[in-house]
Structure 1
């Protein structure tokens, strides 16, 4: 992976790949078998840590634009997968408090539903169409997480196009705004999937930390969980700095 990321960094941007944090749900909880939930108080402390260390969390749209203009110093991408309703109730107020923005990747075909793909986890509600419009109207970025939260590499070409292209069109119609970002469910991406995302017109796409492909349409991200206090956040920041500059 390091060689692939390095080739992209040198050939496309001549800069290290950006620092992007990956969240899912921010809510109080009693059970979290998939480790996708951060307690709201912990999340606020994480944002506070970023600001105290001269960093500001921003949407991927803002981060990629700043990088293009050569002025992304101190910016960290904040991404939230799946589009849980707690983004509206718990995440957005904290973002506003600390002067941050973020990107939420929503599942276009499950608006108002729940996380049916997490068979052993607690049920979590997903944002409604009205909430998606409110998120976009507030200046936060809405990206696509597909139509149904499926394994992209297991789909045939027709199914893949629906997940990628149709979800984008649906969200554009819903928000009245361009949808420039895609996020691969489960981090499942291969060359065919990445090329389909790029051909569909997305400006960028987010993968996970270790991905078989890379580039602007498979950006690596750093997982953040409920155990991540200041020391762990610092360690992850240092790891990114060391890896991104190789």
Structure 2
């Protein structure tokens, strides 16, 4: 019964954005790198549940109506196979890239891994195949620590560079390290971005604005079970107890109301 109800809950999933980073084929214990085999199982489960998965916006800048919005931060070269798995299923995704590091290494401040990043050729090809290309900063610095003029210049240049590279509008941004404040939001708006993603967990409907879009984090060790629990619960919590509590409440909510009272009103 639990499996049947879980499938019903997945089928009625509200629009939800997912945040991925790196992928690997085995032997990696980094929190931000998901096994490619686990990722493929997640995609297959999404397909089996009759859900759609897409980018946040399409090539014309229109917001997607897909159930799940798949996003990848940083632009690691090892996500190429994951993106190809997405495309092979008729899905799409949004790729947030660090423009000054394209074709280089992820050796930005605070990084505990230096991994190869996608090349200019990779990004241009992916854009042509339907992957949305968006900005993750020019240098992956904490935007709250940058002077406003410097941030504005970096964002304007990064946006223009990607638009020239892909031949498409670039409307989205993800805040490096998930850090932002009201001043950063205003600068992002003034540079022509139409939305921005943070790292706070939750449904899109729980986001405070188009510049604070919430996402659920999918990370190393997220099995198919924990992935499904996160989708159902709408957050980063994959606890079995929380899922059972949610299911019980859902069963009660679905129970038909008793339309006639058996008590004597007198």
Root-mean-square deviation (CA), in Å?
A: 2.5
CA deviation after TM superposition for structure 1 residue 39, in Å: 1.1
Of residues 57, 60, 66 in structure 2, which corresponds to 1:61? 57
CA deviation after TM superposition for structure 1 residue 96, in Å: 2.3
Counterpart Cα distance in 2 of 1:164 and 1:220: 21
- Count of aligned pairs between the two proteins: 219
Rg (Cα) greater in structure:
2
Counterpart Cα distance in 1 of 2:214 and 2:192: 20
Of residues 209, 220, 225 in structure 1, which corresponds to 2:219? 225
Instruction: Name structure 2 gaps, 5 residues minimum.
Output: 1-12, 236-245, 247-266
**What does residue 174 of structure 1 align with?**
165
Counterpart Cα distance in 2 of 1:58 and 1:210: 19
Runs of 4+ in 1 over 2 A off after TM superposition: 28-33, 64-67, 117-123
Of residues 99, 112, 121 in structure 1, which corresponds to 2:103? 112
1:52 aligns with 2:48: yes
TM-score by length of 2: 0.75
Contact 1:32 1:122 in 2 (8 A): no
Counterpart Cα distance in 1 of 2:165 and 2:234: 35
Counterpart Cα distance in 1 of 2:189 and 2:113: 34
Instruction: Name structure 1 gaps, 5 residues minimum.
Output: 1-15
**What does residue 9 of structure 1 align with?**
none
String of CA shifts for 1:127-166, please: whole Å, max 9, x gaps: 1111111111111110011100000001111221123221
Counterpart Cα distance in 1 of 2:44 and 2:116: 27
